[in-house]
Amino acid sequence: MKSLGIIAEFNPFHQGHQYLIEKAMKDTGSDICVAVMSGNFVQRGTPAVADKWSRAENAVKNGVNLVVELPTVFAGNSAEYFAEGGVGILEGFGCIDTIAFGSESGDLSALLEAAELLNTHHEEIHEKIQILTKQGHSYPKARQLAVQELCPEFDENLIKEPNNILAIEYLKQIKTMEPYTLKRRGYGYHQSATLIREEMREENPEKFQRIDRSYWELVGAKILQSDSKRLEEIFSAGEGLGNKLKNEIRYVSSTEQLIERIKSKVYTYSRVSRLLTQILLDIDEQAVLGSAKYIRILALDDIGAKFLKEVKKKECAILPILTNINKELKDCPQIADTLDKDILATDMYNIITKSDLYDYSDYIMKPYIEI
């Protein structure tokens, strides 16, 4: 059974996802599509528009055969860690043949060359970025300047677009899978997830206003409860962000207002937004750098079930496979801390969305099976 892997958020699932899956499956001759999907909080640092179980079910109903969770410590992080988690889980099956992803470039050779250059000069680029950020540049700008200086032959346009950046990070992580990229067709072809989310808000403004308010109350309370030192230890903090949050919290009444007051040339909107979710879930350096990977099943169809059966029969998976954490967690103590963040994320999401804390708990919910 030839297999294709993708990394996605499905926030929500849209035509662009469908196009990538169908085209990549056809071009690579794959029999199954396995998706690693963000959980209840997404990379941009907000609660997802629907819970992870619903989004996984919807993906399976639209052509994905198996959906597994990208742990929260990776999902709510920068492109580097998002890619590390997603690629690591796909390769953790031990038998995924191809990884597919969209990119603005669509040129796999150029992206591979860029990934190789960035890997080769990783230490020098990292040191240069640290110097440039201390001089007042944002991380994205510092990275661009560092790459331009250390790798003059590098096409800087490849690290200006978000999907190119993610594509390069995927390629830097890949060890066993064949990469496949598809040029994104743009807004003229497929409605973007951003536009769909905006439409959802317009159709049900009261619901999303309640969610925004609940999220703000939880985040605001956590900031007020934490001292500056602890806030500074949260993974996306540093450089005085803890103090700045404590100083600004009393002047705002929403997460949007707080982000607007904090963001600057150095502290990008995305970084501050992710930081707020990391504060809520207490994700510090140890939680990220000491994280463990696992294959947690969220939804599957009969093809996905057959694939899983083959994986178990061949014993090719190098990561634990979880379908019922009440039973399996006892045999995998090494993943407990990372899994605890997923469980906490679900609990917080349920509070935010006014969902029952018991019925929708990670201890109670079971994978969706499409028959």
Residue closest to 232 by CA, chosen among 215, 247, 221, 254: 247
Residue 193 annotated in ligand binding: no
User: Does any domain span residue 60?
Assistant: no
∠ CA 79-344-61 to the nearest 5 degrees? 65
φ, ψ of residue 239 to 5 degrees: the values are 60, 35
Residue 15 annotated in ligand binding: yes
Q: Which residue is it, tokens 């995998």? A: 332
φ, ψ of residue 8 to 5 degrees: the values are -155, 175
User: Does any domain span residue 238?
Assistant: yes
Residue 235 annotated in ligand binding: no
Q: Which two tokens stand for residue 350?
A: 């349920």
Residue 102 annotated in ligand binding: yes
Number of structural domains (the chain) is: 1
User: Does any domain span residue 129?
Assistant: no
Residue 287 annotated in ligand binding: no
Residue 315 annotated in ligand binding: no
Residue 163 annotated in ligand binding: yes
User: Does any domain span residue 99?
Assistant: no
Range of the domain at 227: 205-287
How far lies 170's CA from each of 8, 62, 308, 327, 343, in Å?
12, 24, 24, 32, 26
User: Does any domain span residue 227?
Assistant: yes
User: Does any domain span residue 98?
Assistant: no
Distance CA 190, CA 63 (A): 17
Residue 17 annotated in ligand binding: yes
Residuewise pLDDT in 10s, the chain (371 residues): 899 999 999 999 999 999 999 999 999 999 999 999 999 999 999 999 999 999 999 999 999 999 999 999 999 999 999 999 999 999 999 999 999 999 999 999 999 998 998 888 888 888 888 888 888 887 788 888 888 888 777 787 788 889 999 999 999 999 999 999 999 865 445 678 889 999 999 999 999 999 999 999 999 999 999 999 999 999 999 888 989 999 999 999 999 999 999 998 778 899 999 999 999 999 999 999 999 999 999 999 999 999 999 999 999 999 999 999 999 888 899 999 999 999 999 999 999 999 999 999 999 999 999 97
Q: Which residue is it, tokens 């057959």? A: 306
User: Does any domain span residue 18?
Assistant: no
pTM above 0.85, yes or no: yes
Residue closest to 163 by CA, chosen among 178, 183, 146: 183
DSSP secondary structure letter of residue 134: H
Kind of pairing between the strands at 178-183 and 321-322: unpaired
User: Does any domain span residue 278?
Assistant: yes
Residue 57 annotated in ligand binding: no
